[in-house]
Amino acid sequence: MRISIIGSGYVGTTIAACFADMGHEVVNVDIDEEIVAAINSGKSPIHEPGLDDLIATHGGDMLTATTDYDDVLDTEITFLALPTPSREDGSIDTSIIEAAAESLGGTLQDKDGDHVVVTKSTVIPTTTTETLAPIIEAASGKTLGDNLHVAMNPEFLREGTAVEDFLDPDKVVFGAESDTALDTLHGVFEPLIEQTDPAIVDTGIEEAEMIKYANNGFLAAKVSLINDIGNICKEYGVDAYEVADAIGLDNRISARFLRSGLGWGGSCFPKDTAAIKSAAREQGYEPRMLDAATEINDRQPVRLLSLLDNHVDVAGERVAVLGLSFKPGTDDIRNSRAIPVIEGLNKRGATVVAYDPVATENMRERFPDIKYADSPKAALDDASAALVITDWPEIADLDDEFDTMSTPVVIDGRHAIDRRDGIVYEGLTW
């Protein structure tokens, strides 16, 4: 099939490369000429395992990038994969996707035959039907249901495993209310469905929009719930990981997303929980569970710092911060739990020496005045305490590197380090 994707960000580029790999002819439209040139020359504009290879294979061939919306006219279906950033109050700003819908609509004036427009971005229920569809209708002069169809197909990929997640998903959700939209979507995903046989959810457009928020809200709340339980465990000297191993055996709970510790960060969980909470309030509903999930998440770094305070007065002391990215396998520091931890250390007058295998440069923009070490050992040298923020394997493997600390206090926020002789070890929830 011939597919167009508007937006070459994280999701857009990944799905463009994956669709090309599934044998489709893909056009990726973006306003950024550098990104367009990179894709056409076979180079990935973002760092994601497996994506370089896919774009090297298909870029400039089955996958072409362009700044010209007219290239959409040769395609049957367009996915809108544009950012929906958070506003100050947590609600999403849809101006970028609305502008893209308007440009797309203008182009579709010249389209003969059916065209399906699919929202891939994460949007609040009714955005596709009540905001985007009218914009596309007005700009194209077409009427919904008559050669123009809209649908919603949420994306569940994770940073660091995006290609794998896209090509081998647990489920694919099609929010569509016309046969043309649904059949076209099924056609796009046919090769993937044949290969990996995921669960297919055929549902309404608003339901599809909500499924994405429910998915992320539920997972964020699951982590916060195990953190709440983990904090109680800690008060009684109980190991929350042993408790989680046992409750995870109950199929109704499941073993995944039960790692307690410093909590969740990244670009999706914080943004999506804030957005759905804000939307709920707009409707007059108080989302208590999701509020609590956020509150508990904000409290975990505070608890880590209070465990530190129990052992060391860090004013004027070197403190090693091990790991800066929001999770291992990425250089993304958005909403990383490292940020409130470093702020807390700065407030206490500590000399922060941070280490991360890949996220240092990103964190340097956020905190230009702290020290950055080239290795965990250099961060630990002469430090009065070490805080484990991200469970990178090379941090989990640390051993006699702790020997050169001036006082070997290690507070672990991720259950990464083994207790061992010679260090004073505290786990956040164990």
Positions annotated as catalytic residues are 268
Residue with tokens 């490369």: 17
Binding mask 46-65 for ligand UDX (x = CB under 6 A): --------------------
Residue 370 touches ligand UDX, criterion: CB under 6 A? no
Decide whether 223 or 305 has the Cβ nearer to ligand UDX.
223
When the beta carbons of 58 and 327 are compared against ligand UDX, the nearer one is 327
According to CB under 6 A, which one of 118, 136, 223, 386 is a site residue for ligand UDX?
A: 223
Measured distance CA(142)–CA(108) in Å, rounded: 8
User: How many CA atoms within 13 Å lie on the side-chain side of 424?
Assistant: 13
Regarding 268 and contact with ligand UDX (CB under 6 A), the answer is: yes
Residue showing tokens 């957005």:
275
Closest to 179 (Cα-Cα) out of 202, 197, 198, 201: 202
Instruction: Write down the least CB distance from residue 212 to ligand UDX, Å.
Output: 8
Using CB under 6 A, pick the residue from 10, 69, 269, 372 that binds ligand UDX: 269
258 binding ligand UDX? (CB under 6 A):
yes
Restricted to residues 141-200, the positions that interact with ligand UDX (CB under 6 A) are 155-159
Query: Which range binds ligand UDX by CB under 6 A, 17-25, 50-58, 186-194, 251-259?
Result: 251-259
Count, residues near ligand UDX per rule CB under 6 A = 20
Residue 296: is it exposed, middle or buried by C-beta count within 10 angstroms (0-12/13-18/19+)? buried
Q: Which of 257, 278, 381, 424 binds ligand UDX (CB under 6 A)?
A: 257
From CA 167, how far away is CA 15, in angstroms rounded?
9
Using CB under 6 A as the binding rule, whether residue 259 contacts ligand UDX is answered as yes
Cβ nearer to ligand UDX, comparing 5 with 423: 5
Amino acid identity of residue 427, one-letter, is G
Near ligand UDX by CB under 6 A: residue from 7, 263, 301, 323: 263
**Closest approach of ligand UDX to the CB of residue 175, in Å:** 16
Single out the segment in contact with ligand UDX by CB under 6 A; choices: 113-121, 169-177, 259-267, 395-403. Answer: 259-267
Q: Which is nearer to ligand UDX, 136 or 304 (CB)?
A: 304
Segment contacting ligand UDX by CB under 6 A, of 65-73, 113-121, 261-269, 313-321: 261-269
Q: What secondary structure, in 3-state letters, does the chain show?
A: CEEEEECCCHHHHHHHHHHHHCCCEEEEECCCHHHHHHHHCCCCCCCCCCHHHHHHHHECCCEEEECCHHHHHHCCEEEECCCCCECCCCCECCHHHHHHHHHHHHHHCCCCCCEEEEECCCCCCCHHHHHHHHHHHHHHCCEECEEEEEEECCCCCCCCCHHHHHHCCCEEEEEECCHHHHHHHHHHHHHHHHHHCCEEEEECHHHHHHHHHHHHHHHHHHHHHHHHHHHHHHHCCCCHHHHHHHHCCCCCCCCCCCCCCCCCCCCCHHHHHHHHHHHHHHCCCCCHHHHHHHHHHHHHHHHHHHHHHHHCCCCCCEEEEECCCCCCCCCCCCCCCHHHHHHHHHHCCCEEEEECCCCHHHHHHHCCCCEECCCHHHHHCCCCEEEECCCCHHHHCCCHHHHHCCCCEEEECCCCCCCCCCCEEEECCC
C-beta of 296 vs 354, nearer to ligand UDX: 296
Region of 113-121, 136-144, 198-206, 257-265 interacting with ligand UDX (CB under 6 A): 257-265
| Residue in the shown chain whose Cβ atom is closest to ligand UDX | 268
Residue range at the interface with ligand UDX (CB under 6 A); choices 50-58, 258-266, 311-319, 360-368: 258-266
Residue span 316-345 as binding mask against ligand UDX, x where in contact by CB under 6 A, dash where not: ----------xx------------------
Q: Which of 265, 301, 344, 408 binds ligand UDX (CB under 6 A)?
A: 265
Q: How far is the CB of 390 from ligand UDX (least distance, A)?
A: 8
Q: Which of 12, 105, 266, 408 binds ligand UDX (CB under 6 A)?
A: 266
Residues of this chain, 23-42, that bind ligand UDX according to CB under 6 A: none
C-beta closer to ligand UDX: residue 318 or 414:
414
**Interface residues with ligand UDX (CB under 6 A)?**
155-159, 216, 219, 223, 257-259, 261, 263-266, 268-269, 326-327
